[in-house]
């Protein structure tokens, strides 16, 4: 019923518009084409000014109502992300000024230079000076913005500080897999043909590589340390994904077979951000910013930023993926000796000690 009423209303609106247009044509015929055209020209000129005023009020009102719902009021949650915020504010200032000036001139000119019998048309076909001005100035401004962007990009994707932690981020339809190096600080080798979810090897780690025996693998939540740079080594198991870190102002494609990197330094723990935002349910989000399939909307993870001590405690509780995939190698799964076994072993040792030695 609701669908029927909606369609009926839409059809009715089109009919009303059509009837108004036809009535306007009839009025034009009665008044005369010339008079009707001049009157319409004046009306349109006035509407241009009205649209300019109402449009600017609308822009201001939307900004007032929606600004606090964006990520801008609280600033970047990473040190390097502050550069992105600065670049964004500069871009908004430049484009905002240009937008206001050009729109004001555009709609005001439509009103000021409406058709008039008292004014003679002035043809202005070409002016080299004006063309140079409106070509060179925008080109210089855009070049400066591009250079600033490239400098920031080379920083984020370059080599991080020496004390950085490393986290490998692998996307797959439709979740994220995280790997941390163990005490050796080095990630073990992996090979995509070794991927075997059924046997707890989601990344295709090579168990022959001892450097990977202490690597920790987790899903759903990634843990980072406040104030410590983190280098993300990003990849994909299947299609192109994209690591989106909106609170840290970072993002990077996850491409199958081509590792990409990104680094930043978290400024606040998750607990601190809950206080800063006034939102007790606040979480840092890692989203997929590249359409990757039917369940793309569900591909997200939580980033938990903690202090170094909390991170160390969490890492101690984690079991290396090598032991998860090879439980027979886990010392914790070794069968303890029973009392009966201990008694038999002691008896055998005693018998061996009392056994006579053959003389030569």
For 306-355, write each residue's pLDDT tens digit.
999 999 999 999 999 999 999 888 787 766 655 555 555 555 555 555 55
Across the range 268-288, mean pLDDT stands at: 93
Residue 197 pLDDT exceeds 70: yes
Contact 180, 304 (CB under 8 A): no
pTM of the full structure:
0.76
Pick the CATH number of 165-329 from 2.30.36.70, 3.40.250.10, 2.60.40.420, 1.10.10.10: 2.60.40.420
pLDDT band at 302 (very low <50, low <70, confident <90, very high): very high
Distance of CA 19 to the CA centre of its chain: 49
Q: Is the pLDDT of residue 115 over 50?
A: yes
Query: Cβ distance 304 to 224 under 8 Å?
Result: yes
Is the model's pLDDT at 268 over the cut of 70? Answer: yes
The pLDDT value given to residue 124: 77
Q: What letter would DSSP give residue 226?
A: T
Residue keyed to tokens 């004001």: 104
Instruction: Domain ranges for the chain, please list them.
Output: 15-83+100-115, 165-329
Q: How many CA atoms lie within 13 A of 84 on its CB side?
A: 21
Q: What is the pLDDT of residues 4-58, one digit of tens each?
A: 788 888 888 888 877 777 676 666 665 666 777 777 788 888 888 898 899 899 9
Q: How far apart are CA 1 and CA 114, in angstroms?
A: 48
pLDDT more than 70, % of the chain: 89
Residue 183 three-state SS: coil
Q: Mean pLDDT, to the nearest integer, of 68-95?
A: 92
Q: What is the mean pLDDT of the chain?
A: 87
Q: Is residue 232 scored above 80 in pLDDT? A: yes
CA distance to 13, 14, 23, 28, 240, per residue, from 18 (Å): 9, 6, 9, 15, 49
Q: In the chain, how long is the greatest CA-to-CA distance? A: 143
Mean pLDDT of 46-72: 90
Q: Identify the DSSP state of 56.
A: H
312 compared with 124, residue with greater pLDDT: 312
Statement: residue 286 has pLDDT above 90: yes
Give me the pLDDT at residue 357, please: 45
Best CA proximity match to 53, nearest among 95, 15, 104:
104
Neighbours of 149 (CB within 10 A): 14
Q: Residue 250: which of 298, 218, 297, 287 has the closest Cα?
A: 287
169 and 178 in contact (C-beta within 8 Å)? yes
Q: Is the pLDDT of residue 113 over 70?
A: yes
Q: What is the pLDDT of residue 233?
A: 96
Tell whether the model's pLDDT for residue 226 goes beyond 50.
yes
Pick the more confident residue, 31 or 277.
277
Q: Name the band, by pLDDT with cuts 50, 70 and 90, for residue 359.
A: very low
């Amino acid at each position: 019923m609701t669908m029927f009423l909606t369609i009926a209303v839409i059809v009715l609106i089109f009919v009303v518009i059509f009837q108004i247009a036809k009535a306007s044509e009839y009025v034009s015929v009665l008044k005369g084409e010339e008079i009707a055209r001049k009157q319409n020209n004046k009306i349109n000129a006035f509407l241009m000014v009205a649209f300019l005023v109402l449009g600017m009020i609308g822009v201001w009102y939307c900004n007032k109502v929606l600004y606090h719902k964006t990520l801008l009021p609280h600033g970047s949650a990473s040190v390097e992300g502050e550069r992105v915020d600065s670049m964004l504010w500069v871009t908004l200032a430049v484009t905002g000024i240009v937008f206001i000036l050009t729109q004001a001139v555009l709609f005001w000119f439509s009103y000021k230079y409406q058709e008039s019998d008292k004014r003679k048309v002035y043809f202005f076909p070409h002016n080299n000076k004006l063309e140079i001005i409106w070509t060179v100035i925008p080109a210089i401004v855009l070049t400066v913005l591009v250079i600033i962007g490239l400098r920031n990009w080379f920083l984020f994707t370059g080599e991080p500080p020496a004390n950085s932690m490393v986290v490998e981020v692998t996307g797959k339809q439709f979740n994220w897999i995280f790997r941390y190096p163990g005490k050796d600080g080095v990630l073990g080798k992996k090979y995509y043909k070794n991927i075997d979810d059924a046997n707890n090897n989601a990344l295709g780690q090579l168990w022959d590589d001892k450097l990977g025996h202490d690597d920790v693998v987790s899903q759903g939540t990634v843990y980072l340390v406040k104030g410590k740079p983190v280098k993300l080594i990003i990849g994909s198991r299947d299609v192109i994904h994209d690591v989106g870190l909106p609170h840290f102002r970072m993002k990077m494609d996850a491409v199958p077979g081509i590792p990409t990197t990104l680094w930043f330094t978290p400024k606040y723990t998750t607990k601190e951000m809950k206080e800063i935002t006034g939102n007790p349910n606040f979480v840092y989000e890692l989203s997929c910013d590249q359409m990757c399939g039917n369940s793309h909307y569900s591909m997200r993870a939580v980033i938990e930023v903690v202090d170094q001590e909390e991170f160390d405690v969490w890492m101690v509780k984690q079991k290396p993926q090598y032991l998860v995939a090879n439980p027979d190698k886990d010392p914790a799964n070794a069968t303890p000796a029973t009392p009966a076994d201990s008694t038999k072993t002691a008896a055998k040792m005693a018998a061996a000690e009392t056994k006579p030695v053959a003389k030569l």
